[in-house]
Amino acid sequence: MPYRVLIVEDQEMPRQLFEIFVRSDPRYTLIASIANAALAIDFCRHGRIDLILMDVMTELGSSGLDAAEAVKREFPAVKIIIVTSMPESSWLERARRIGVDSFWYKEAQKEPILAVMERTMAGERVYPDETPAVRIGHASSHDFSERELDILRELISGDSNAEIGERLGIAASTVKYHVQNMLEKTGMHTRTELAAAARSLGIAIK
């Protein structure tokens, strides 16, 4: 009996590609492909879903990781593969923590999604060793420390060092120090430039 698959992907083209992949393999049946992760739990309740291909950032700001957590809590047997193109490191950690079965980077991973689906349905947990390295200025995304990435995620808010420090529980001078370090690493001139680059490359997404 084929596995019943739900695709949660808000971008038209990747979604259609996933649909083609799923339909091309007789071991899978596509139940639906939707754009909003908030509906995934409803499909599990009514549609006996076996596998979900879940994007992280979906329509109307709905988080795929939040949806995956809710599904895993209520339906632990449902397999979930997180599919994303963003190298945001915290997503990988959170996916592991909430019990997501596999994690697949859309563009960076050589292994095809069908192979990952097969291994996942066989009970294997397929995770990349690390996030894909992305160049940001003169630096690589792997050159940043955890604390620097925390601050990078907050920079996009446009708040001051004091406000960011208050949210992270550190001093404003520490925030300033880390921002300066990141500017030196990347060779960028302003924190705005740094935050914009980090967000658009998907290195730091809040």
Partner 1 sequence: MTPFARLSILTQNLVCFWALVLCLSGTAGGMLLWRQKRRLLCALSGFCFLCAYFILQVCRDGTEQRLHGCGDALAERVLRMPCAAFFAALALLSAICCLLFRDVLRWRRAHITSDSIKESMDGLPAGVCYYLEDGRCILVNHRMNDICVSLLGQPLQNGVAFRDAVRDRPVCLLPDGTAVSFRHRAVTYEGAPAHELIANDITELYNKSRQLRADNERELRLKADMKAYGATIADTVQKQEILQAKVNIHDGMNRMILATQRAAEDGAAGAQRGEVLRMWQSQALLLCKEADARRSSSVVSDLNALAAVIGLRLEWDGAPETDDPAALSLFLHAAREAMANAAKHAKAERLAIHIEENGGSLRAAFENERQAAAAPAEERGGLAELRRRVEGAGGEMKIDAGSLFRLSVSIPKGGTANAVSGIDRGGSGDAAPAF
- 119/148 with CB nearer partner 1: 148
Residue 140 Cβ vs partner 1, minimum distance, rounded to whole Å: 20
- 119/134 with CB nearer partner 1: 134
DSSP 129-140: SSPPP-EETTEE
Q: Name the token pair of 137.
A: 């200025």
**Burial class of residue 91 in the structure, from the number of CB atoms within 10 Å of its CB (0-12 exposed, 13-18 middle, 19+ buried):** buried
Residue 39 Cβ vs partner 1, minimum distance, rounded to whole Å: 6
- 35/168 with CB nearer partner 1: 35
51 neighbors 25 (Cβ within 8 angstroms): no
Please report, as ranges, the residues that interact with partner 1 according to CB under 8 A: 10-14, 16-17, 20, 31-43, 45-47, 57, 59-63, 66-67, 69-70, 73-74, 85, 107, 155-160, 190, 192, 195-196, 199-200, 202
Residue 14 Cβ vs partner 1, minimum distance, rounded to whole Å: 6
CB-side exposure of 20: number of CA atoms within 13 Å?
A: 7
Residue 17 Cβ vs partner 1, minimum distance, rounded to whole Å: 7
